[in-house]
Structure 1
Amino acid sequence: MKGGDRLPSKEALVAFIKSEGELGNKVGKREIARAFSIKGDARIALKAMLKDLQKDGAVKSRGKSLAKTGALPPVVLADITGRDRDGEFTAVPVEWDEEDLGPTPRIHVHLPRKPKPGLKVPGVGDRVLLRVNADREGDGTAYAGRVVKVLDRAQAQVIGVFRAVPGGGGRLAPVDKKSLGREIPIPPGDEKDAADGDLVAVSLTKIGRFGATVAKVREKLGSLKSEKAISMVAIHTHGIPHEFPQAVLDEAEQARPATLGEREDWRDIPLITIDPADAKDHDDAVHAEPDDDPKNEGGFVVHVAIADVAAYVRAGSALDREALVRGNSVYFPDRVVPMLPERISNDLCSLRPQEDRPAMAVRMVLAADGRKLRHSFHRVLMRSAAKLSYQQAQAAIDGRPDETTAPLLEPVLKPLWDAYRCATRARNERGPLELDLPERKIILNKDGGVDRVVVPPRLDAHKLIEEFMILANVAAAETLEQKKTPLLYRAHDEPTLEKMRGLGEVLASIGIKLTAQGALRPEFFNRILKRVEGSEHQPLINEVVLRSQAQAEYTAENYGHFGLNLRKYAHFTSPIRRYADLIVHRALIRALHAGRDGLPDGVIPDLPEIAAKISAAERRAMAAERETVDRLIAHHLVDQIGAEFTGRVAGVTRSGLFVKLADTGADGFVPAATLGADYYRYDEALHALVGDRSGETYRLGDEVRVKLVEAAPLAGALRFEMLSEGREGSARGRRGRSAPRPTVRVADRAEGAPRRKSRVKVRR
């Protein structure tokens, strides 16, 4: 189409502007003239032709650039609205007028396999800045987009409670702590079909350039008066998929029980399951017996069998795609949002007593000192001999067997405990990190409210199952590495130098010198914890050591598990509720040539991206579970305004103190402005607020007495008044004039450092 002074046709111009724009290239008069070799006076005619195209609506102007009408610019602000059949995010542009521009284009959002440091992982409902180009994959999506930045969720979609007003319209009470107390008007006609008290999702807009923010109801999510409303808030706030597509349910119903076939027959081995008393699925079974090999006197043979989920959830199927989207099951006090439908998790893959079930199993031979001598993996058909609770198994070992455990005591339970004591010797020699983290469990009443919060005793039965699962996970990683088969590791990095310096400063403040020699190992921290055990400093040091640790994650590259002090570690033991374990099962099937449902070649290049997705899903689940617990406990305490409680300082920021109550584990906030007549400054090295004049100090780990002055159940926020006096200290002197102290409400808990993780754990 290059032809000196000859002008291209209007159709050719529009096609060129469209193709260059889709590639993200700037398209102006200069670029068009250069592409079509238009020179001299012909440039004037080109200018007139482009003006005609703009008048006709075929192209539009974007500053000094041009674009085909209905086309997206190279960088666009978009809202992530859902996922496609493969579980990938889809988005739509924020600003799009269908009357003028035609149907709203869809954008296929590509997540990087290795996200940039600091780049948040987006979710459904997030607003993102995307760099887009034409989607060449031919899946019906007009554009492919790469995330440049994830904006605050509040800018895209807000979850809250609709409050109707007379005459139409209403107001939105957001559930987000940062927005607490700031209601948003909803104009008449924009309330959709929401009724007073409904939980709704809204989009936010502004009236005019400098006008007020108003909301428009996008979706009604249900009534707060209904059952399980509290967990529904977290589910919708975090975009957790909680309803299975019909295709997934249909596929699950069509599944048929696996038979013996080419599997090994392990039905004569008396494997048993030991789980929480209220568990609905049972995906791991254990058995142990003394090793009869005379060369291994005092040793044991341990069998761990795990439900063979890969037999029912094939790679690339509807079940598999949905499981990847979910990443893991999410456990709330009042419900479970499972990774797989009940037909799979609670039926075909639940290791029920006296029923044949397919399993992936590992046989491990332990020496008398607990070291694992060798192991082998097997694809088997098993039959559980019994279903026991932790308390039931422990009671039998402690001399209180019941009808179920009495026949199992000698042949099954005692050998299990003997093997566990054997394995403990190697564990103690290995020296994993020993943090004292009591786990709280919420007990609900019949109305779904909090009845009480308990700290269940840590039994040897819990430790036994945990230790055998760790051994099986290590064996899986070792086998796959030996077979040179790609897998997903469960990795935990060692603390950063910056974290270690912070720990050193805290230790120095209580007279302990930090002296690490050689490679950093968990035993170094264990010695510190042992040194302060029983002292007034124990809560502080336990908390600071915890905060110095990195967060565990899934990764296709192995860098070991620092906390467990293991070089090779993978999650193998819970494929019903964790997608990473399903990947490891498929990898073992592939490595051992144990079936046609192993890890496909096409999935291997995607393992880094899968690891990033399921790590993000895990963090999402943790946040949702934590927030639900906060809301339930805040609702439980709302009638106790004015009551006094004992707790510990669990977090220190410039804004104030976080206090964890001893009885319930509830977290509340004490604003620095309310501490007293002094002005309190944040000492990062001490993890403390220190009074300028008095030197009075409130420090992480301090036991305190507080009074509840405000509770916001919807946001899960509590505000306390400090009743205890701080530690005595030396005055630091005023370092310049202090700014006026602001009025601080519950919402201010989000200021300063990130909110700490709750220690309340909800079990199955």
Structure 2
Amino acid sequence: MPSKKEILAFIASHGGDVGKRDIARAFGLSAPQKVELKAMLRELADEGTVDRRQRKLHVPGSLPGVVLADITGRDSDGELVATPVEWDSEEHGEAPRIIVRIPRTNGRRPAKTPAPGLADRVLLRIVEGSPELGNIYAGRIIKVLEKARKQTLGIFHSHLEGGGRIVPIDKKAAGRELMVPPGAEGGASDGDLVSVELLRQRVFGLPMARVKEKLGSLKHEKAVSLIALHAHSIPHVFPEAVVKEAEAARHATLKGREDWRQLPLITIDPPDAKDHDDAVHAAMDSDPANPDGFIVTVAIADVAAYVRPGSALDREALLRGNSVYFPDRVVPMLPERISNDLCSLRPEEDRPAMAVRMVIGADGRKRRHSFHRIMMRSAARLAYAQAQDAIEGRTDDTTGPLLESVLKPLYAAYAAVKRARDQREPLELNLPERKIVLTPEGTVDRVTVPLRLDAHRLIEEFMILANVATAEMLEEKRSPLIYRVHDAPSLEKLSALRDFLKTIDIALPRTDAVRPAHFNRILHQVETSDLEPLVNQVILRSQCQAEYVSENYGHFGLNLRRYAHFTSPIRRYADLVAHRALIRALGLGTDGLPEETTPAMLGEVAAAISVTERRAMAAERETVDRLIAHHLADQVGATFNGRISGATKAGLFISLDDTGADGFIPAATLGADYFHFDEARQALIGSRSGEMHRIGDRVEVKLIEAAPVAGALRFELLSEGTRLKGAQRRSARPAGRPKAGRSPGPGRNKVGRKK
């Protein structure tokens, strides 16, 4: 019988792609030993040493089966060494080293195997390794995502005698300036944001560089989004071959399609949307077998008609993975000729589409569905507020003629679908999204929180229905597909959440089968109370991150057993893959998924686009942070109201009410006390005073420093915290920390550091 340590090493070496049967087979266990193994795995899970993801196991702090990594050097044997791009050093310690293995045949590298180099970013499949064995892994190259970046962005500072120096904007490069020799300034002026190219380096002295492109002043918000594009290596200029292919595309014809141009489909989008890839229609079902039921149709732009597998457009779309949305610009997955013209479902223009027609019962449940390749003509383009105004009696010239025949049936169908949704009970977090509104000059005008309307929910629910129908159809046809999945919270996160909720007298049931309904009941308890923002944030942080995979394990947040993205092929590559899979599975054309496509191949695509999705989210978030920091840079010394949005042993994170701006308060500035982090309460607590600052607390802060380039704000806390008393203080005091009445010691401040 293997030991726990041996089992952990085996699970970690397989990156989580292992189950109980795999362990039993690997160690040759007998039937009685399998029973013992089951008990041992349950103990490891209860201890939080192992995460369960459906029937798969994963060791926290180990690498997954597929990982995004940067090649950082070579070992003593000359082998390439990589480190994971996403790694939480505070939680899991030093990042592991991955030895990059390149298969060789007869001493030569196979032609299909990519040739990575230093500083390349690659997608690796982990084949060996364990955190127990020196934290060293071995990985096989799946794909070289980008070659080494030989240029960087920075602020140019000129010298009187010519030339100058570059201060990189990358936080990781802080303090490592570059020297620009005379004649290599590229027309840059002092203080300009520039793109630079590294030159041949000298043995001694600062690295040399020349200015490749002057991008303008950082006071212009466009430069701020450029920083994010560079920092995350997001492709934003289409290669010439891609542009030529897009410009050469011609409108699809009716051949091989059903003519649905008389069906009054409409698009409902944000008012500033440039591309419209989904249209909807609903009507009462005339079938006597479905009394009070509906026929709901969702039509999606037929991107597969223009972007063929293996083409230049397809390769670039896969590289980008998705569109990226900044306040001042959009970096599209596809060129505008495709996204804003040929595939955009414009009113009164013929457009090819993939449509799903769904029969909905009076109870809101989908009874059956069918997919069609059609030619459609949108009857109208509406904004969310415009559709909502019409249904509430405020029609205009566009919505007036559509009210009875189009809009009212849509809302009636949504009312039925909502009943089924409420019974399904998906996770219902209340997290308002903020939107930055820019002035015509490109500076921040204001930050708004758009109203959440029934028009938004209507489109959202119809899209979810279409996505479920897609997964069901492809499973029925035994076609490989990419699922959109969301795992249940890990036992470790559930335990931490349970401990936190206990501090505010809320109980989370102890069960192995936690459901979204459990969280919803807690959210309803705190609705409209001061605890509502706090509890929503903490429950959000307990959730896993959604991702794309080729093997289904369900969508916890939506409480669905199967789910695939189908409704946005203009801006998501996963949806384009789903369209191609449907075309092949249903015999709707010759431009479907290639016959040789396997689940393993789609698994690698899913891993790559999961990475690009996280990359886009980080770039969008950092750009908003930089824009807000620019906006507040001239308000240093001003006071603001906000909430504590996070707490760590280093300090407090603050989110301002008006702008949603995020900033930091170092623990060293909280007061004359020793403040320690209480994980259960998610708070910093003074050991002598018992003063507590906890996530969700309302606070008043003063802006002390704004760093626009880094998107960082530093605050000073003006509010007092909650005072713990008696047993509360004793339970909050960590072992080995100063007790009440004991000062931190002479010459030291409240966090124990020397003054």
Please report the TM-score for the alignment, with normalisation by the length of structure 1.
Answer: 0.77
Q: 1:567 aligned to 561, 583, 597, which one?
A: 561
CA distance in 1, matches of 2:115, 2:393: 68
Alignment of 1:262-281 (within 5 A): 262-281=256-275
Answer whether contact 1:110 1:146 (CA < 8 A) is retained.
no
User: What SS does structure 2 have at the residue aligned with 1:690?
Assistant: strand
Where do 1:278-297 residues align within 5 Å? Answer: 278-297=272-291
Say yes or no: does 1:425 pair with 2:419: yes
CA contact (8 A) 1:698 1:727 kept: yes
The aligned residue for residue 706 of structure 1 is 701
1:735 alignment partner, one of 725, 734, 737: 737
Q: Which among 657, 674, 683 is matched to residue 678 of structure 2?
A: 683
1:518-529 equivalences under 5 Å are 519-529=513-523
TM-aligned CA deviation for residue 534 of structure 1: 2.7
Partner deviation per Cα, 1:266-322 (whole Å, 9 max, x = no partner):
111100000000111100000000111111111100000000000000000000000
- 529, 533, 538: which is aligned to 1:539? 533
Equivalence for 2:585: 591
Alpha-carbon distance in structure 2 between the residues aligned to 1:117 and 1:633: 25
Q: CA deviation at 1:215?
A: 5.7
Say if 1:472 and 1:572, in contact at 8 Å, map to a contact too. yes
Q: Secondary structure at the match of 1:314?
A: coil
CA shift for structure 1 position 540: 1.7
Q: Which residue of 2 aligns with 1:459?
A: 453
Match of 1:402 in 2: 396
1:489 alignment partner AA: Y
**Cα pair distance change 1:212/1:693, threshold 3 Å:** farther
Aligned length: 632
**Does 2:603 align with 1:630?**
no
Does 1:696 find its partner at 2:691? yes
Residues 659 and 155 of structure 1, relative CA distance in 2, 3 Å threshold: farther
Per-residue Cα deviation, 1:619-674 (whole angstroms, up to 9, x for no partner): 00001100110111110111111111110001111111110000000001111111
**2:543: which partner in 1?**
549
Q: Which runs of 5+ in 2 are unaligned?
A: 1-67, 90-96, 125-137
Aligned partner of residue 601 in structure 1, secondary structure: coil
- Check if 1:644 corresponds to 2:617: no
Instruction: Show CA shifts across 1:124-163 (max 9, x none).
Output: xxx997444666343797679986699xx99997532122
Which residue of the partner structure matches residue 447 of structure 1? 441
Greater shift after overlay, 254-263 or 492-501?
A: 254-263
Q: What is the aligned partner in structure 2 of residue 674 from structure 1? A: 669
By how many angstroms is 1:541 displaced?
Answer: 1.3
After superposition, the C-alpha distances for 1:460-505 in whole angstroms (9 at most, x for unaligned) are 0000000000000000000000100000000000000000000110
Secondary structure of the structure 2 residue equivalent to 1:258: coil
Which has the larger Rg?
1
| Partner amino acid, structure 2, of 1:138 | A
Does the C-alpha gap of structure 1 residues 428 and 215 become closer, same or farther in structure 2, counting only changes over 3 Å? Answer: farther
> In structure 2, what is the equivalent of residue 620 of structure 1?
615
The amino acid that maps onto 1:700 is: I
Question: Which residue is 1:184 aligned to?
Answer: 177
Q: Secondary structure at the match of 2:723?
A: coil
Question: What CA distance in whole angstroms lies between the structure 1 residues aligned with 2:486 and 2:290?
Answer: 33
CA-CA distance at 1:517 after TM superposition: 4.1
Determine which of 216, 227, 238 is the counterpart of 1:223. 216
Cα RMSD over matched residues?
Answer: 3.3
Is contact 1:490-1:569 (8 Å) kept? yes
Residue segments in structure 1 that go unaligned for 5+ positions in a row = 1-88, 96-104, 121-126, 745-764
Structure 1 residues 497 and 463, CA, compared in 2 at 3 Å: closer, same or farther? same
The equivalent position to 2:474 in structure 1, one of 476, 480, 485, is: 480
Shift of 1:184: 2.1
**1:363 aligns to what SS in structure 2?**
strand
The residue that corresponds to 2:22 in the other structure is none
8 A Cα contact 2:186 2:214, kept in partner: no
Alpha-carbon distance in structure 2 between the residues aligned to 1:385 and 1:146: 44
| Aligned-partner Cα distance in 1 for 2:298–2:589 | 20
8 Å Cα contact 1:328/1:339 also seen in 2:
yes
Corresponding position: 1:469 with 2:442? no
Q: Are positions 1:248 and 2:250 aligned together? A: no
Counterpart residue type for residue 485 of structure 1: S
Distance 2:501 2:312 in 1: 53
Could you tell me which residue of structure 2 aligns to residue 32 of structure 1?
A: none
Matched position secondary structure for 1:410:
helix
Quote the offset at 1:183 in angstroms.
Answer: 6.2
Paired with 1:640 and 1:267, the residues of 2 have a C-alpha distance of 55
The offset of 1:200, in angstroms, is: 2.8
Query: For residues 94 and 550 of structure 1, do their structure 2 counterparts lie closer, same or farther at Cα, with a shift above 3 Å needed?
Result: closer
Preserved contact between residue 437 and residue 445 of structure 2 (Cα < 8 Å): yes
Structure 2-normalised TM-score? 0.78
The alignment partner of 1:252 has SS state of helix
Instruction: Name the residue aligned to 1:355.
Output: 349
User: Which amino acid is the alignment partner of residue 735 of structure 1?
Assistant: R
Matched residues in 1 for 2:594 and 2:748: separation? 61
Equivalent residue in structure 2 for 1:236, among 230, 237, 243:
230
Q: Aligned AA for 1:136?
A: R
Aligned to 2:19: none
Amino acid at match of 1:499: K
Corresponding residue to 2:333 among 334, 339, 350: 339
- Contact (CA 8 Å) 2:673, 2:750: kept in 1 or not? no
Following the alignment from structure 1 to structure 2, what is the Cα–Cα distance between the partners of residues 154 and 136? 20
Provide closer, same or farther for how the CA distance between residues 570 and 298 of structure 1 changes in structure 2, counting only shifts above 3 A. same
CA contact (8 A) 2:181 2:210 kept: no
Q: Percent identity?
A: 61
Offset at 1:222? 2.0
After superposition, the Cα gap between the structure-2 partners of 1:119 and 1:244, relative to the gap in structure 1 and judged at 3 Å, is: farther
SS in structure 1 of the partner of residue 597 of structure 2 = helix
- Give the whole-Å Cα distance in 1 for the aligned partners of 2:458 and 2:123: 46
Q: Does the 8 Å CA contact 1:184/1:215 hold for their aligned counterparts?
A: no
Whether 1:320 and 2:318 are equivalent positions in the alignment is no
Is the alpha carbon distance of 1:185 and 1:349 closer, same or farther for their aligned partners in structure 2, counting shifts above 3 Å?
closer
